[in-house]
Amino acid sequence: MIENLLESTVREIIDRHPETLAVFTGFNIFSPADAAQDLWSILKLKELLRVKKINAAVFTALLIDQIKDAQQYRQLSAAVVNKPGGFNFIAQLPCALKLPLHSALQTFLEKLQQEKNIRLNYYVWSCSTDILAFADYIGQVDNIDDAPDLLFTTDYLINKNFTERFIKKGFYRAPTERPVNSSLSGIDIVDTDGCYNVVAINPVVVVIDCKRLGSLPLPKTWDDLLKPEFEQMVVLNGCPGDFDDMVLLNIYKQYGDDGIAALKRSVRYGMHPSEMIRSMAGNKADLPPIHVMPHFFANTIAPPIEAKVIWMEDGTLITPLSFLVKSTKTEELAELIAFLTGPEFGRICAGAYFPSLHPNVKNRLPANAVLKWLGWDYIRGQDTADLLARLNRNFI
């Protein structure tokens, strides 16, 4: 299938599989409005990826996952009739994980319905593209009966209203303690309060554009990036008003407002990681040489871009992927919980460069990688949502 896709024109792919348009637009190759241009009827996918300097193996894998996802969804929608009422569970997934995890999830749910006649209402959000924001939905829930039985999310900063009403009062609890993958055992990522069930992490790495670095030294620590010599030399994941939570909070925790001011001096602008990679592939000389992005996107970079991935010596910052489940629903949702904490789910995460906590999964981490997590005590010790809003206002 990969060869057929690479030899097909972009127009042929989108006409045969309309669902793949989301992958093309997600990588900012073109907007939905541009999809009808005559160029796409001529240009083969392999040529497009070569021009855009996008890793063909990674991109075609995403296309295939999207195609299979749509096929399975059509089969599932014919087999499963939603029950009236609220959601049994909702999931908010990073772009890189939505396609493979959603596909696996649908296969699992179809099997659950066919073999055990268990039907679950669910919805899967994308972190970056959805009409209704996950945070807005969670924020308006004011009754535990209306709240989802299980939430799978990258958002460890869940809405304050939801936290105060439901999490702190013990409505959501971790079912059982599980062993942790040895590669992640030293970072205290497990929530000892027993609310968040962490299943994987999302590392944020520093990518160096070697051609544009010039005489600058390689930054090896976050402290290095705050030095005056790196002024205007950094591109940060995000945009004005919504920069990378993990970077801002970690810098603030360690260095305070002075650290945020120093980071502001170093960062020229914010950008989506796919746009960073596209700009690195261009010929423009005056571009920052240092890019802060999730590990998944760093692995989509292909030659002729000369890039070096830096795992910071004082800690590569990580965000947890976790789920919350109502304490009264752990038995009813036992099969779903077993799937989310099982080896298949863990292997999918690890395969997309989201290291899994499952002890039997092989993670794609350098042997000497130091990982840095804010800590659940820090998260709970203050109103992090208000803090982030202030840091973003003062940043750029």
Please report the domains of the chain, with CATH numbers, ordered by start residue.
2-66 (1.10.3910), 203-316 (3.40.190.10)
CB 92 within 8 A of CB 125: yes
Q: Cα separation of 34 and 24, whole Å?
A: 11
pTM: 0.77
Say yes or no to pLDDT of 96 above 80: no
Beta 267-271 vs 234-239: how paired, if at all? parallel
Q: Tell which residue, 248, 246, 283, has the closest CA to residue 264.
A: 248
Per-residue pLDDT tens digits for 127-162: 554 444 566 667 677 788 888 899 888 766 566 778
| Backbone dihedral region for residue 10 (phi beyond 0: left; psi -120 to 50: alpha; all else: beta) | alpha
How much of the chain exceeds pLDDT 70, in percent? 86
Strand partners, 321: 200
> Alpha carbon of 321 to those of 157, 176, 239, 293: distances in Å?
12, 17, 22, 17
Higher pLDDT, 321 or 91: 321
Beta strands in 311-391 (DSSP E): 316-325, 371-372
What average pLDDT does the chain have?
84
Average pLDDT over every residue of 254-271? 96
- 66, 20 contact by CB (below 8 A): yes
Closest by alpha carbon to 21, among 66, 73, 86? 66
